[in-house]
Every structure is written in structure tokens, then in C-alpha cells.
Amino acid sequence: MKFIGKKIICVTMAFAMLVAICGCKSKDTDEEGSDYDVEYVYEYVSGDNSSSSSNESTDSTEKTGNSSKKNSTTTSGSSTNSKTKSWEEIKASIPSKLKGTTITFYNWNPSNSFTGSSKAIAAFTKETGIKVNWVTGTYDDYITKITAMVASGDSPDIIRMRDTNVNILQSLQPISNLGYDFTDGAWNQELMNLYKVNGKTYGMILKDTPYFFPAVMYYNRSLISRYNLEDPYNLWKQGKWTWKKMASMCSEFVSAAGTEYEGYTMPDGGEYMRCMGVTYITYDASKSKYVSHMDDTRIVKAWQFVSKNVKEGNFSNTVYNLDGFDNGTILFHANSAISSIRAHFHVKKLISNGDLGTVPMPTVDGQKTYYQELGENIAFGVPKGAKNKEAVPYFLRYYLDCANYDMNDFYCDSQAKEVVDWCRNQTFFTNMDVLLDKSRYGDSVHDMSYLLRQTESAQIKSNLDKYTAMVAKCVNDSNKSLESLK
Amino acid sequence: MKKKTKGNLDANKNKIGYQFVAHWILGLLMFFIIPIIDSIKYSLTNITIAAGELKFKFIGIENYRQMLLSDAKYLDNVRDSVSTMFSSVPIIIALSLILAIVLNQKFKGRLIARSIFFMPVIIATGVVMVLLKSGYLRVPLFNVTSGAEYEYGGLIDFNEILLKLNFPSSINGLFAKYLSNVFDLIWSCGVQIILFLSGLQSISPQLYEVSKIEGATKWEEFWYVTIPMLKDVILLVLIYTMIQLFTSLDNPVVAQAYSIMKNNQIYDLSSAMLWGYFVLVMAVMGIVLLLYKQLCLKRWE
Amino acid sequence: MKSIKIFNSKSPTAKKLDTYSANKNTASIFLSIARYVFLFSFGYILLYPLIYMIVHAFQSADDFLDPTVQWVSKTYTFDNFKLAAKTVDLYKSAFTSIFVLLLSGLVEVFSCGIAAYGLARFNFKGKKILDVILILNILVPTTVIIIPTYINFRYMDIAGILNIVGTILKKELRLNLLDTPFVFYVPSLLAVGIQSGFFIYIFKQFFKGFPKELEEAASIDGASAWKTFFKIVIPSSGVAVLTVFIFSVIWHWNEYYRPAMFYSTNYPLAVKIKDFFTLVQGLGYNVYSAEAVNAAMAASIMFILPVLIMYMIMQRKFIESISQTGIVG
């Protein structure tokens, strides 16, 4: 009996060996994945000092979104210059006690990768006598480090809102504590209101800033001309740039060009629903609550559109295929405007050939408003216990202003600049899907997109319903954390 | 080490021990005990972050209650990790032992082979593994479903084979889940192989000669000579493997607690999760070791 | 496997011996082949990522995008290494890795040895508690206690004295160890550095198995415990020291969490490698692009190379030494 037992053990071991030899798939809960699910801000190194800007790199969750109608922000803010104070006025109003002080600016990229940013900072110091100390941390531990610093009394003065949600808010103080008048027209009140919790605002955004990278649609100009397709730029100008049109262009392109070519490589497929103005979780600033939209039929319609086109071969199932796009085998690609920065290497082949065309995201047919999501890393906050908080708004007013950067050579061409400037005036809403952390709730937005992209139209609703409970739980937890911010 | 105390001499001698561990005790007090107590304190309170301090509000076992009753995934994750442990540990031990036996034999190139099999320790314990699993690479063998979602099968895609064989999908799922861990299992064998290798080398060859003379087959030799001589090593490997599995970031409980800590900056709940898990780990390890001692050591005396 | 010809080759016993040895020959050949196949398949799984890294480190960006290029690149380039070095700030990071982390790793080897000797050889009051705390030390991961440890380092105090004196004098007297190398040196000196529990355990097992006669002989000769330790025990502990040394080097070289939190003035190489994709983005590259991926692989190669070489050199001694440390014997 004993011996048989041993034989069984040996057979099991042999089986284990056999299986091991085949080295099958290993499923890892990629704990790193969630970190890269957010956009991060970084700045490029360029030999010339034409522009210094932090660029938002977007990963696949970057999409244009819609302003939630429940939000206090309704229409797009147009840049009204009537109430805007000039820099000279601002400079004159800086309290004299701030001269000679230092502001600690906490980042996750070293200052030497922010060419031109140093120039702006140096100019600021020269003008005002306020010094800026640039501290570099790591991206992964950015928020943890902030908490640790605040708890131990070493708070920096400015931090980048790596997460716009409650994760980082609990370490911040409201901007009303800074003793600065933010009604100055240069500040983007509409967007800053989206950072309001319980009536207090936590983030600062300037209207006319180079640190703004909306989601845009890129297209390959050479492919357009080669296959005699309509130029999306003209379509946009004529108001005919819609998703239906774009999908039919893809279909036309694929049938004309052949199987090696693909119509559209998407970030993850959720961009359509965001063009409608809705996503799984948004933030309602007027109620200071996160809201789940899983019961919104628009989400179902959006995914039906996307999966239908994936099935028909118009949209590629390979997401975020930037290389393929750059190589000229794909017609469309949606990404953040950051890829159109001249000095970047994202789509360098297309940029160098002048073939990168930029247009805003297509509009949803029958919809008048253009919605886009408010990206993360666009706002700046002040931690609790910051020693030099009063100097911060003056610094940001200067540092974030396009006027202090050379915008002429910034984007790859004037069309891209035009598109970005147009997007500044459109409607925003907050996309809080990043709260769905995979380790904590079981599935990430990526998993959901991966499934829904390939689902039959009829099954989309039932597949979406699988995630409803998880999203509800996430929203509940986040709202509970928000309560501590009273 | 048990000497009969002969008056003051031995007592004095033992007191000298303090001199050797004095620096360690100081270090423990300064850098270990205090943070542990603090961490336990965190798990019993509700924490608010304020300027220059952390505000604590004592709420007793509320955090523990929340994690056990109302958290969506905690119990699932615990169950997952324990069942993974029970399935992985025997395989890792078996694999490492077999590999160590093979590597122990004299053949050409065994030095190179040994270096290769220690590779996981050098790479897998480190940050390079993070890069390899990050999803920006297109490395088959590491299946990542984030980032650009390049999903690759391994050298042989078991899912496809099973699909083609028309197994019902429930068996498919079971197999796939089990098999998908195997790659990780192989990669986590590094230190164990080394330990077994050393253990094998410390078995005196005379034992094998004796067993040969007595006419034992290789099979019997393995079970009646090698294994008993390795009983201490097996214990060590058992402990090490369990610790490794319970503290690695692939462990779902650990991943959940760390994500709450790192992304959400909620220290009270995550500390409670980790301490609760720690108690469970201690219990499980204690049971396993007791079982081992009872069942195996007795047999192999 | 030579058969011994004792008998006449025609006798049945001889025939049996012949077939026996012949079988042994084929058996051994079969065994060797089986062994090589076995090792090769496992080795392949283990080596695959390494091969991938090497291939990509030298591959040009064009080859990366070229679908026809699988393993053999058409052009070789060192550009990836250049970009990698720039991204991780190679010289600065390596400096920290070597002079802060490896140095404290070295210190740790000795401080742990001393503490372990105390645990192994002396039976003083409270030793049992220390044994339990040792287990705790090995099991509790750093992340659990990261924030308390951070605050601890920020307001380093010695038995609360500095705090009391400081409040009287209305000045902050408590030391701020953060961002200084002491954040590693001090714990290592006090045997509570990175993975010290494990090292103490290894040393303890070794010392327990050390023959007592030598120490007794020394004490009879009138040597104090310390002298015995340094003159007798340490010189014979080469193997344990080697084992702990290698593990210490590997773990300190790879340590990223503590430096990221506590030593932000100059991150060691491990932190930079972990952050690689963020950093390479800061230089303008898209993380999915060929340059970024190839540079990441080049950086990985540069990172594991020193440790790999060290291990290759010490490999034989290392494996022999583990068996003699007594933890497996």
C-alpha cells in the first residue's frame, strides 16, 4: 500500500514535469498594470529651448469624454479676457514677505528632462525673487511619499495631481487656504470646479496652458491621399466629422487597401462612450459624489458600435498599435495630443514626413455637444502643512502660462495646434474609471474593454451587467473615503 | 547546549551573550518593534492625514470586521492564496528536488547548468522581473493582460489544445488556471534547488555504497536513503517556500492590501488586512509543520 | 562501465554479466540523453527571458518593428545602451548602489554574524523571546510598516531623550535620517537591515553546528568569548560568510522599495530600473515603442550583469558552502 502511494506521487511529479516543460501561460495579476493605467505627466528633452512643457502621455484609457450634465459645469468656458489680470498686475500684487522664499515642487521626473521648464522657472525667480526647489520622486511611490511627507511634517508646496480622485485629495488642502483670488479670468474655473469636494476646491488649472493634452484623432495623410479618401480636417470644418463617417471611411480603406492594412487602432474602445459624455464612473462635483453609470443605455450603445466595427474588420482588435500606425499600415489612431509634440518620438516617422494629421475626436451622430474627458495630471494641488503655500498661486500663474513658453514650434504642425486650441473651449467631464483597481476589485477597465470589444451586440448588455456590482462597490468605497474630507 | 549550571561561572558566561546581541536588540527596538506596534495600532484605528501628524481614532476591530464581512474580495483572495499554496508547494518541492538530483550528477557542463538554474534568484527577486512583466514588452511566457494587451500563449498554448480536444469549458477553465501557474512555479524554484543541491551533497556517499551492497534498487535508494537524509532540508525548503508564496506580490491578498495602501492611501484597512493574513499564515504554517513532523519525520527516523 | 571479465566468456554467468554491463551502457546513454533533454527544457524556460533581453538589447529599432526579424537581428547597435544609460543616470545610480547599498550589505554580514553567535552559543534570559522576534523579523515584509518606519527615520530618537530635551529647549533635536546614507548604514550596523533576519538565521544554524571543542579549548586557554569569536570561529566560518555575502549582495543590489521611500536624493540603480518606463517617457519616447523596449532590455542587462558575473565566479564555492553551513546538514 505504501508503495502504491509512492508510485502515485511519482506519477504526479512526472506529470508536473511534463506540464512544466510546456511552460504554459502564466497568469499574473500585474500589479504594475494599474500604475500604467493612468496618464502621467512628463516632459521631453529637446535640444532647443523652444518649449518647455510637461506632456501628458496617455495610455489606452485616454479618450475624449463628455461633461456630465449633472455637473455644475455646463457649457465650455471661453477664454474671456475681460477679467484677466496681466502678469504685471499679478507681479505687483505679490506680498513682499514672499520675496526670497522657496517653493518646493514635488515631481516624479527630474528637472533635467523638462527642458524649457527650467527656463520658465528661472525667469520666474528673476522676476519675483521667489526660488523654486524641484524635488524628484518616483512615479510608483509618488502618492505614498506625499502621505509620508505630510504626516511627518515635511510637506512639499506643490504636487501634481497624479490621481484626480480621493486617493490624493486626502493629503491636500483647499485652495481657499492660499489667500489668492482665483476669480482672475486666467484660471479655468470650470475645470477647477470639477476638483471640488464638499464645496472646497483642491486643484488649480490655468486656461491657456501648454500642459493640456486632449484626446484627438490622428490620421495618416499619405494613406488618405493614396486611396482618395476625404480629408478628415475638411470634414471637421464642415461639421461632418462623425463616428459613422469615420467607420465608413475605415471600411472603405480596408477594402481598397487590402488585408495588411487596418482601419483604426483604438486606445481601448471606450472612447466612443466618452464622446457621448458618459463612462463607468464619473464624479459629480455638485454632490461631491462618485457616480456609477453602469445602467446608462448609452454605454451599451457605444460598445455595440465598437464591437460591430471590430467584427466587421473596420476597427482593429489590436489596441494601441502605435508602431503599426507609425509604420503606415493603419489609417486612424486616437491618442492624446501629446503624440503630436514635435520633439517626441511617438509617431516620429509620420511627423517627420508631415503625414500626421490631427483632428478632434469624431462626434456622435445626432449629438451637438463635443464632450471630452478631463485628463489626470492636469491640475496642481497644495498638500496640507505646506510651508510656503501663499507663494504657490503666483508661481503657477507664471509657470503654467503659455505666454512664457514658445508655442510656435511646439506641435508638429499648425493643424495640431488649431485642434488643441479648439478643444480648450469644449465641454469637459471627469473620468474616474481609474478607481477600478484590479487588485482590489477583481477586474480593471482593461479587462472590461477586452471583453466588450469582442462581444456580440446582443450580449453586450449582459456582459456589462457582470461588472455592475463591482463598479457599485468601488463607487461606495470611494464615496466613503470622500467623507473624510469634510 | 544544555549544560548543568555550575554556579556562577556559567551564568556569567551566558550573560556575555548579551554583549553579542546588544546591538541587535537596540536595532530591533529602534527600527522594528516600534513600527510593528504602530502598524498594529493603525489596524485598530481610523486614520486621517493631517499636517505633520496622523490623526488616530480608535475603532477597535471595525477594520477587521469590514475586511471580513463587507469587503468584496478579501475572503476570495484568502481562499485563493491558501489553495494556491496547497497546490503549489508540493510541486515546487518535488520539482526542485528532482532538478537538484539531476544537477547533482556528474555530467559535462553541470557547472553551467547550475548557474542557469540559479538564474531565477538573480533575476526574479529583482526589479528586472517587473520590467519583463510590465506589458510593454512582447515576451511570451509572461502573460500580461494590461497595457497593450498583447496576450501570448506560452511555448505551447494549453488553452488552444484543450479547446481543440473539445473538453467542456469548466474543465478547460480549471486546467488553464492550474497550468497558468506552472511557469511561475518554475521561476520560483531557484533558492530551493540550491538548498536541495547542498543537502544532497552533504549526504555521505558511504550510505549509497552500503545500500548498493544491500541490493537496493535506485527507486528504493531514493525513498529509503536520500529522502530521510534530507528531512531537515525538506523542512527548510517547506518553510522557505511557504514564506515566499505568502509574501510575494503575486499573492492576491498581498496585492489587494498593497493596492489599498499604495493607490488609495488607506493605511488602517490595509494594515488590518495584512495582520489578519499574517495570523492566518502563521496558523497554516504551524499546521503544515506539525503535520510534517508527525507524518514524515516519524516515518523516516 | 567496463565489464570485468572474470569468467570464461561462454559461461552463463559471464553472459549475464555481459548483458548486464551492456544494458548498463545503453541505460547510461539513455539516462544522459534523458538528463540533457530534461535540463534543456527547463533551462529553456529559465533562459528564455535572458535570451530575449540580450537579443533586444543589441537590436535596432527597425529590426524590432520588422515582422520578419524574430531572433536574429539584421543590424546591431549600442544605441539602446546609450539610451538606457541616459535614462537611468547610470553613473550616479551605480554610485548609490555600490557605496550606499552594497556597503551596508557588507556591514550587515558582520553585524548579523555577531548577533547570531550570541543567539547560538549563549542561553541568557530572554533569549527565547529573541528567537521568536527573529522569526517575526523574517516574516514581516517592509511594506506593512513603511509609514511608521518613515516617521521613525524622520524623528530618530534615542530612548526618547532627544524629544524631552528638545521640548525643553524648544528646538527640534531629533535626528532626521531621511535622505542620508545613514538610513541604510545604521540599521545594517544594528543587524536590522534588509533581510537581516534571514542572515542571522543562517549564521545561527551554522554556529550551532560548529564543533564546541575548539571554543572550549580557547576558553580554557583563557581567551574571552569575544577573542574566541574573532580568532577561532570567524576564520573557520568562511563558508557561512560567503553564503550570506552572496545573498546580501543580490538583495541589496535589487532593493528598490526602501531607497525609493527613504533615500530620494540619489536613487540607486534598482529604483531607476523599476521606474524605467516612466523615465524613458520623460525623454519623449512612447512606452510601447521599439526604442523604449530595447532600451529597457539593455538596462536590464546592465543591471544584472555584475551580479551574474559575481555569481559565476563564486558559484562552485557557493554551492559547496551552503552544504557546510549546517542549515541543510
pLDDT beyond 70 at C1: no
The larger pLDDT score, comparing residue C131 to residue C23, is at C131
- Of the pLDDT bands very low, low, confident and very high (cuts 50, 70, 90), residue A8 is very low
pTM, two decimals, is 0.79
Which comes out higher in pLDDT, residue A214 or A16?
A214
Per-residue pLDDT band at A80 (split at 50, 70, 90): very low
- Does B222 fall in a domain? yes
State the smallest CA–CA distance between residue A2 and chain B in angstroms: 11
Q: Name the residue with higher pLDDT: C13 or C195.
A: C195
Nearest-Cα distance to chain B for C160, in Å, is 11
Residues of C in contact with B127 (CB under 8 A): 254, 256, 270-271, 273-274, 303
**Domain membership flag for residue B9:** no
Interface contact A36, partner B, CB < 8 A: yes
**Across A372-386, A409-423, B266-280, C155-169, least confident range:** C155-169
Q: Which of residues 335-364 of A touch C (CB under 8 A)?
A: 339, 341, 343-346
Domain range for B143: 72-300
The more confident residue out of B14 and A381 is: A381
Across the interface, do B201 and C319 touch by the CB < 8 Å criterion? Answer: yes
3-class DSSP assignment, residue A69: coil
How does pLDDT run across B22-49, given as a tens digit for each residue?
A: 999 989 988 898 889 988 888 898 888 8
Q: Which residues of C40-57 are buried (b: 16+ CB within 10 A; e: fewer)?
A: ebbbebbebbbebbebbb
Look at residue B162 and tell me if it is in a domain: yes
The H-or-E segment that residue A383 falls in is strand A380-383
Question: Is B43 a domain residue?
Answer: no
Q: Check CB contact of C261 with chain A, cutoff 8 Å.
A: yes
Query: Mean pLDDT over all residues of chain B?
Result: 76
Give the start-end residues of each E strand in chain B: 45-50, 53-58
* Range with lowest mean pLDDT among A74-83, A470-479, B67-76: A74-83
Does residue B242 register a pLDDT over 90? no
Residues A108-121: pLDDT tens digits?
877 766 656 888 89
d(CA B144, CA A33): 9
Alpha-carbon span A160 to A179, nearest angstrom: 20
Cβ neighbours of C303 in B, within 8 Å = 126-128
Q: Give the Cα separation of C73 and C69 in Å (integer).
A: 6
pLDDT at B155: 40
Contact of B252 with chain A, judged by CB distance below 8 Å, is answered with yes
Interface contact A437, partner B, CB < 8 A: yes
Full DSSP string of C272-321 = HHHTHHHHHHHTT--TTSHHHHHHHHHHHHHHHHHHHHHHHHHHHHHHHH
Indicate whether B66 belongs to any domain: no
Query: Who among A59, A113, A145 is closest to C261 (CB)?
Result: A145
- Cβ atoms of residues B64 and B276 within 8 Å: yes
The pLDDT of residue B231 is 76
The more confidently predicted of residues C187 and C139 is C187
pLDDT given at position A315: 92
Short-list A181, A236, A195, A188, CA closest to A78: A188
Cβ of C145 within 8 Å of Cβ of B202? The answer is no
At A22, the pLDDT band (50, 70, 90 cuts) reads very low
- On whether residue B184 sits in a domain, the answer given is yes
- Supply the pLDDT for residue A454: 85
- Return the half-sphere exposure (C-beta side, CA atoms, 13 A cut-off) of residue C232: 20
Q: Which of A30-34, B215-219, B273-277 has the lowest mean pLDDT?
A: A30-34
How does residue B9 score in pLDDT terms, banded at 50, 70 and 90? Answer: low
Say yes or no for a CB contact (<8 Å) between C276 and B105.
no
Query: Is A150:B244 a contact under the CB 8 Å cutoff?
Result: no
- Interface list for C 95-134 with B (CB within 8 A): 111, 114-115, 117-119, 121-124, 127, 130, 133
Which of B49, B94, B157 is the closest to A170 by Cβ?
B49
Residue B265 maps to a domain = yes
Closest CB to C35 among B17, B102, B116: B102
Averaged confidence pLDDT in chain A: 79
CATH number for A87-212+376-404: choose from 1.20.1290.10, 1.25.40.10, 3.40.190.10, 3.40.50.880. 3.40.190.10
B88-119 as b/e, with b when 16 or more CB fall inside 10 Å?
A: bbbbbbbbbbbbbebbbeeeeeeeebbebbbb
The confidence score (pLDDT) of residue B183 equals 66
Q: State pLDDT tens for residues C104-126.
A: 999 999 999 999 988 888 888 88
What are the extents of the domains in chain A? 87-212+376-404, 215-373+432-483
- Tens digits of residue pLDDT in B259-279: 888 888 888 888 899 888 888
- d(CA A260, CA C263) in angstroms, rounded, equals 50
Which of C45, C277, C284 is opposite residue A345, by nearest beta carbon? C284
- The confidence score (pLDDT) of residue A224 equals 92
**Minimum-distance CB partner of B121 among C226, C250, C276:** C250
Testing the interface with C: which of A30, A109, A268, A345 to mutate, by most C Cβ within 10 A? A345
Superfamily of domain A215-373+432-483: Periplasmic binding protein-like II (3.40.190.10)
> Does the structure show a pLDDT above 70 at A151?
yes
Higher pLDDT, B123 or A473: A473
Beta-bridge partner residues of A28: none
Q: What is the pLDDT of residue C327?
A: 53
**pLDDT-based confidence at A47, cuts 50/70/90?**
very low
Overall average pLDDT of the A260-287 stretch: 90
Question: Is it the case that residue B175 has pLDDT exceeding 70?
Answer: no
pLDDT value at A45 more than 80? no
For chain C positions 43-72, those within 8 Å of chain B (CB to CB) are 43-50, 52-53
pLDDT at position A13, please? 42
Grid coordinates representing B255 are 496585492
pLDDT digits (tens, 9 = 90+) for C35-60: 888 777 777 777 777 888 888 888 88
Convert the pLDDT of each residue in B275-289 to its tens digit.
888 888 888 888 888
Other residues' Cβ atoms within 10 Å of the Cβ of residue A92: 9
Task: For residues A38 and A402, give the distance between their C-alpha atoms in angstroms, rounded to a whole number.
Answer: 25
Beta-ladder partners of B50 = B53
pLDDT beyond 50 at A137: yes
Given a contact as 3+ CB pairs under 8 Å, which chains touch A? Answer: B, C
Q: Contacts of residue B79 in chain A, CB cutoff 8 Å?
A: none
- Residue B127 contacts A where some CB pair is shorter than 8 Å: no
C244, pLDDT greater than 90:
no
Q: How many helices (H) and strands (E) does chain A have?
A: 19, 17
A363, β-bridge pairs? A242
**Among C107, C133, C124, C109, which residue's Cα sits nearest to residue C203?**
C109
Using alpha carbons, select from B183, A30, A133, A253 the residue that is nearest to residue C44: B183
Does the pLDDT of residue A23 top 60, yes or no? no
Contact residues, chain A, for B261 at CB < 8 Å: 144
B-contacting chains (≥3 CB pairs under 8 Å): A, C
Q: Which of residues 46-105 of A touch C (CB under 8 A)?
A: 46, 55, 57, 59
Specify the CATH number for the domain of residue B205. 1.10.3720.10
Quote ipTM for the complex.
0.78
Q: Nearest Cβ partner of A24 from B156, B255, B266?
A: B156
Residues A247-259, mean pLDDT to the nearest whole number: 91
> In this complex, is the C-beta atom of A324 within 8 Å of any C-beta atom belonging to chain B?
no
| Residue with more model confidence, B80 or A74 | B80
Query: Angle CA(A337)–CA(A342)–CA(A344) in degrees, nearest 5?
Result: 80
- pLDDT: which is higher, B111 or A70: B111
